Structure 1
């Protein structure tokens, strides 16, 4: 008996197989689309600043205080939108103090577009977390006569920078919009006499909280004249 299939039978089977495959695709497509639907973003979500500060204070009691506090800060800036909602959009250069004690200082630093801060030290560890914009750091070290640049670090939204006790750095906001960051220091930042260096001559001179705040005030005046 011949097993040769007629052209009509082959064509019919080919049609049925194609129809079955198409039917399967039509059933699966809506399911695939349903899996890719994104949940709406809650634009009103905010970081609870009181809880954040309390967590930082508790972490500062750990054996490695800087790394413990850094972990709390990293968690906060990992959702920069929620932190921005809690602090508000930066609209001027300034420092908003969130906590200040002999053991820990936390503040919100706001940089105007293309603002520069001259080289300075802290004489205590520092963690810096960016919640909007970008902060470029030039790292300096002391030599026989003054300081010299040896490195750089760019912090983008969601990044956390870690600075040791002896670090000297200068800061620039390279963007044409504001930058905001949470700065945390392992001591009383505003009542510690530190050093800053003239940006042109690199001559060393005293610096403290009022000197830093005066720089922010001068920046706002400069921007207002534009």
Structure 2
């Protein structure tokens, strides 16, 4: 059975030993064998939200609930992340910078679909966009190797794919609308 306090403690301990995304892989492997117990521990998602579970300078753990058909424009984290879906589906498109582009534009470079029980590590240089392609809420735990809220990050305009500073307030508002 998933225990949120134990999950947080285990992630903190792991990051103290190894500051890479590999440190939390075993923890995710154990936790996401039983995604229903994660949903039970966190509560069945009732509405979209970005809920901090733990935050320090070297680790952030969030419970993200995506509303149906919700999409987030391409963005980076400038830190590693591990994402696990405990209910629903989260589609990620991965992007890469276009070499020598003066506007910092990007182009698609791959994709992955995470369904209930799936998790995936993302390196610190990953740029991705996220979508919930289904008609129900999707719940996911996101663990970041740093302070998610204080990091300098970028996002890319969804229309012209040019780089700009991320607007944290706009991001939070997407989850609250």
What TM-score results when the alignment is normalised by the length of structure 1?
0.73
Deviations 1:8-38 (A, max 9, x none): xxxxxxxxxxxxxxxxxxxxxxxxxxxxxxx
Match of 2:26 among 67, 71, 90: 71
- The higher-RCO structure (CA 8 Å, 6+ apart) is 2
Partner of 2:37: helix, strand, or coil?
A: helix
1:66 is displaced (CA, Å) by 1.4
Residue equivalent to 1:88? 43
Cα distance in structure 2, aligned partners of 1:139 and 1:120:
10
Correspondence 1:132 to 2:93: no
Residue equivalent to 2:124? 165
Q: Which runs of 5+ in 1 are unaligned?
A: 1-45, 221-226
Cα distance in structure 2, aligned partners of 1:208 and 1:48:
33
Contact 1:189 1:209 in 2 (8 A): no
Matches within 5 A, 1:15-164: 46-63=1-18, 65-143=20-98, 144-145=100-101, 146-164=105-123
Between Structure 1 and Structure 2, the one with more helix by share is: 1
Q: Which runs of 5+ in 2 are unaligned?
A: none
Cα distance in structure 2, aligned partners of 1:203 and 1:65:
29
Match of 2:149 among 169, 190, 194: 190
Deviations 1:124-157 (A, max 9, x none): 0000011000110000000132100010011111
Larger Rg: 1
What TM-score results when the alignment is normalised by the length of structure 2?
0.93
RMSD over equivalenced CA pairs, Å: 1.3
Cα distance in structure 2, aligned partners of 1:172 and 1:107:
17
